[in-house]
Amino acid sequence: MLTAIEKAGILVEALPYIRKFFGKTIVIKYGGHAMTDEKLKQAVMTDVILMKYVGINPVIVHGGGPEINHLLDRLGMKSSFIQGLRVTDRETMEVVEMVLVGKVNKEIVSLLNQNGGKAVGLSGKDGQLIEARKKFLTPFNGEEDQIYELGFVGEVARINPEIIETVVEKGYIPVVAPVGVGADGESYNINADYVAGAIAAALQADKLILLTDVEGIYRKFGDASTLYSLVRLAEIPGLINEGVISGGMIPKVQCCIQAIQGGVSTAHILDGRIAHSILLEIFTDQGIGTMVVR
């Protein structure tokens, strides 16, 4: 049981952060364990609503979690993969969109509303928020003359942030499903990390937060004492060459780079498995995860 003075201390510790982020926009990529564990889910919602109440404008971009696979399985639809990415034909894309927009997005919206927030769900089609183009994979090792495409897997061509600004201005928390729309009106599945990064840049957000299932970037993987609390843009190429940043961390770091180059002040790779890691990152002196800066 905390004493009154300890309680007051925490609130006082939060003050400079509240001051610093007042009126700023923070884009949160919401995914991983934080999206499936009931307690973590609740904690993220609380963190987001708290941010809103102290004058920060949070924007949530969510991934799909295991729900997509679940429905594909039930429908008996099999997928092939290239470089770990699912080849997405039109029928698969329909399932992806239904799950992302009609299920996952709506659950987050509802949860925020149940906890005292005012949320509005958006897909990339609403107000043409996310204009997409087909993503082409250039091959790895030496197959220089082959370019793969993955059907309706897309990348961000352009963000039209007006609809986000419209709802934020009226006090709503926007919750964005990472479905883009092509010039032809077709739906495209886009990696939520990239969508979050692009939206953060388009909104000139102050922070991009990627909630992940790791603690951040390690010098020595698995050795908590070697966690980088801060990485500068200039150091990243070296870290990739050395293999310190590798595998699934590479695209996450790329999102951070793009966001920062687009005008976002800092990007954070946070451990979503810790309850209230967003809150701790934003409002306390507690060092959490890895921060990427210019």
Residues 169-188 that bind its own copies (CB under 8 A): 170, 172, 179, 181, 185, 187
Q: Please report, as residue ranges, which positions from 202 to 261 form the binding site for its own copies (by CB under 8 A).
A: none
- Least Å distance, CB 155 to its own copies, is 18
Backbone φ and ψ of 291, nearest 5°: -105, 135
Residue 30 binds its own copies (CB under 8 A)? no
14 vs 240 by CB, closer to its own copies: 14
The structure tokens listed for 233 are 């843009």
182 vs 235 by CB, closer to its own copies: 182
- Least Å distance, CB 74 to its own copies, is 6
- Least Å distance, CB 50 to its own copies, is 5
- Least Å distance, CB 243 to its own copies, is 30
Residue 110 binds its own copies (CB under 8 A)? yes
Residue 200 binds its own copies (CB under 8 A)? no
**Residues belonging to the chain:** 294
Question: Residue 69 class from Cβ within 10 Å (0-12 exposed, 13-18 middle, 19+ buried)?
Answer: middle
Residue 53 binds its own copies (CB under 8 A)? yes
> Cα separation of 152 and 149, whole Å?
9
CB 269 within 8 A of CB 196: no
The structure tokens listed for 99 are 């799950």
Beta strands (DSSP E) in the chain are 25-30, 57-62, 81-82, 85-86, 119-123, 130-137, 148-159, 173-177, 179-181, 187-189, 207-212, 230-232, 266-271, 290-293
Q: Please report, as residue ranges, which positions from 259 to 278 form the binding site for its own copies (by CB under 8 A).
A: 274-276
Residue 103 binds its own copies (CB under 8 A)? yes
- Least Å distance, CB 209 to its own copies, is 15
Residue 49 binds its own copies (CB under 8 A)? yes
98 vs 233 by CB, closer to its own copies: 98
CB 190 within 8 A of CB 178: yes
Residue 34 binds its own copies (CB under 8 A)? no
Distance of CA 24 to the CA centre of its chain: 17
SS (H, E, C) 246-281: CCCHHHHHHHHHHHHHCCCCEEEEEECCCCCHHHHH
Residue 12 binds its own copies (CB under 8 A)? yes
- Least Å distance, CB 1 to its own copies, is 10
CB 127 within 8 A of CB 100: no
Q: Please report, as residue ranges, which positions from 111 to 140 form the binding site for its own copies (by CB under 8 A).
A: 111, 113-114, 116, 118-123, 125-128
Place of tokens 């995914």: 31
- Draw the binding track, 56-85, toward its own copies (x: CB under 8 A; -: no contact): ---------------x--xx----------
Residue 152 binds its own copies (CB under 8 A)? no
Out of 59, 132, 156, 167, the residue judged to bind its own copies by CB under 8 A: 167
Residue 50 binds its own copies (CB under 8 A)? yes
> Cα separation of 112 and 228, whole Å?
32
